[in-house]
Amino acid sequence: MKRLLSRGGAHLGIGLMWLLHWLPMPVLAALGRGLGAVLWRLAGSRRRIARRNLALCFPERSEAEREALAREHFGWVGRSILERSLLMFASRRRLLRLMQIEGDLTLAERSDRPVMWLVPHFVALEWVGPALMLRQSRPALDVYQRQSNPVIDAALLRARGRFGTNALVDRHEGARPVIKWIRQGYGFVNAPDMDFGRDGSAFVPFFGVPACTLLAPAKMAQSLDMLVLPLIVHIRPGGLGYSIKALPPLEGFPTGDALADTALLNRWVEAQVREQPAQYLWVHKRFKTRPEGEPPLY
């Protein structure tokens, strides 16, 4: 019975998303901000995580400033949830109209080297896929986290593959299938700034705090001689859509020293976060894994 209720609730949620995608963007954005305000009150554990992350990363700011930043962050999170309805159901034409592209997004398709798109975890991260599928021709490979609810999982997989020949690899399958797709010409969408535990990781400073960070992106870029192209996605205020910034190839990366290269990546992500701090994914436990002997931070 519990499983049936869970499936039924998932179908109702997907139906609601279908209804939401018809709304004008300013209305959808306003509803998203309202959802963010509700989540701020109800999602106590995520609120505490965001506050803790901001205290660790911005100790120079006052408590009132960090509190305002956390509240603003939840507004962007609420928008990102409801506006995912567009990724699930909106037409190609509407998605193209909503995406403002800055820089040369087609650089990857002109390269004969393997490509890594470097994408920090801003709340609008899911818009990278449509941007790549609709605005350039090189197929993309992404690693995803399977959802526990099979109805939600299937819906998200359909949404990710609506407009192109993207490949998806379950995170638990490891690096081997990723490398296989890269060698077949797929560009790798890589979000390197999450805590996946000690395996294959090292403690590298992030905003001055030792953060458990995967070494694989640096090692892969070096061993496959990859062209590393940063992509930054932000939600534009006022329901104006999304900004996708295609930045020039990352300078001085990789060097062959995986630890130094990973530290460079973390410094680069820091710089991007400082430009739009409220839209970074502060509700993730970035510092969950601690060096041996250190107390937990959450």
Report pLDDT digits (tens) over 135-184.
Answer: 888 999 988 888 888 888 888 888 888 887 678 888 888 788 899 999 99
- Give the per-residue SS3 of the chain: CHHHHHHHHHHHHHHHHHHHCCCCHHHHHHHHHHHHHHHHHHCHHHHHHHHHHHHHHCCCCCHHHHHHHHHHHHHHHHHHHHCHHHHHHCCHHHHHHHEEEEECHHHHHHCCCCEEEECCCECCHHHHHHHHHHHCCCCEEEEECCCCCHHHHHHHHHHHCCCCCCEEEEHHHCCHHHHHHHHCCCEEEECCCCCCCCCCEEEEEECCEEEEEECHHHHHHHHCCCEEEEEEEEECHHHCCEEEEECCCCCCCCCCCHHHHHHHHHHHHHHHHHHCHHHECCCCCCCCCCCCCCCCCC
What's the pTM?
0.93
- How confident is the model over 115-145, as pLDDT tens digits? 999 999 999 999 998 999 898 889 999 888 8
Region 273-289: mean pLDDT is 97
Q: What does the pLDDT look like over 3-20, one tens digit per residue? A: 544 778 888 989 999 999
* Rounded mean pLDDT, 246-252: 90
Mean pLDDT of the chain: 93
pLDDT of residue 144: 84
